[in-house]
């Protein structure tokens, strides 16, 4: 997609140190302004199937002439995936086959973040890191009610219970935040395998400078050093003002979720 910005994108996914299967799936399509992480719901069956279904549905969206068209196509496909997951769960006599989702869409000089569950989106603008998304989780509801603080939330026994997920209900419940983007903005998408081990202030420090791939690798290595109890997936997107006639540069393609950092970068 040619527009107001070019993007440098890097991504990484790792099975972690405690799991045998990586139920995360990633998508990076800077040519149309679309990035996503789906985290299959561990503890239920076929979480990897659910996350992969989301990414496959979004992988064939064609470039759109407007932000509204891109968002509309995204919503249609997500609603279809949600319906398919409900049918699949019933056919396998399983309570839930589901996945969380966090998505970043950029068209011209505006972004939209759409999500359900506890996979997160962050924005680094200038010297400040802000959390764009708000977790749909039981622990976040307790924080909002003043019954837990952030430190208490980290050890809460039901901290992994989400209140929204694709495939969990007949109608997908998505939340959206949108706004302008500026030269130098850096977005981070991640599954909760990262945020279970790394605090926001640590994320801020590790993505403060350097290439997107270094930021991904540094965050992953810190998570692994702390035990990586879950799958961990990270996407970093840098926004740079496009020059006239410039093409999208430095994208990455997710290759394999099983054997650690598996990201290939290429220049079209």
Q: How do residues 157-211 score in pLDDT, each as one tens digit?
A: 787 789 999 999 999 999 999 999 999 999 999 999 999 999 999 999 999 989 9
pLDDT of residue 7: 96
Q: Are 51 and 45 within 8 A, CB to CB? A: no
- Residue 145 and residue 151: Cα distance in Å, rounded? 15
- Domain containing 27 — which CATH number? 3.60.40.10
According to the model, what pLDDT value does residue 256 have? 27
pTM score over 0.85: yes
Overall number of domains in the chain: 1
Virtual torsion, Cα 46, 155, 104, 223, nearest 10 deg? -80
Q: Which domain covers residue 10, as residue numbers? A: 5-266
Report pLDDT digits (tens) over 221-267. 999 999 999 999 999 999 998 765 443 333 333 222 222 332 222 22
């Amino acid at each position: 997609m040619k527009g107001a910005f070019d993007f440098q994108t890097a991504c990484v996914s790792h099975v972690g140190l405690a799991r045998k299967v990586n139920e995360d799936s990633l998508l990076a399509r800077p040519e149309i302004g679309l990035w996503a992480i789906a985290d299959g719901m561990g503890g239920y069956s076929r979480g990897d199937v659910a996350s992969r279904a989301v990414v496959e549905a979004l992988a064939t969206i064609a470039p759109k002439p407007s932000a509204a068209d891109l968002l509309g196509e995204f919503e249609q496909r997500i609603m279809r995936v949600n319906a398919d997951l409900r049918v699949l769960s019933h056919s396998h006599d399983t309570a839930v086959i589901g996945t969380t989702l966090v998505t970043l869409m950029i068209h011209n000089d505006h972004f939209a973040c759409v999500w359900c569950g506890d996979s997160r989106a962050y924005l680094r603008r200038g010297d400040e890191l802000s959390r764009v998304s708000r977790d749909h989780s039981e622990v976040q509801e307790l924080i909002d009610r003043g019954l837990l603080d952030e430190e208490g939330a980290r050890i809460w026994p039901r901290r992994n219970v989400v209140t929204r997920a694709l495939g969990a209900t007949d109608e997908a419940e998505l939340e959206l935040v949108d706004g302008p983007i500026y030269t130098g903005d850096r977005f981070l998408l991640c599954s909760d395998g990262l945020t279970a081990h790394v605090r926001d202030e640590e994320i801020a420090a590790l993505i403060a400078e350097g290439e997107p791939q270094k930021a991904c690798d540094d965050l992953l290595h810190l998570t692994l050093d702390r035990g990586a109890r879950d799958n961990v997936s990270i996407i970093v997107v840098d926004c740079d003002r496009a020059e006239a006639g410039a093409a999208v540069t430095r994208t990455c393609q997710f290759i394999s979720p099983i054997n650690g950092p598996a990201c290939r970068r290429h220049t079209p």
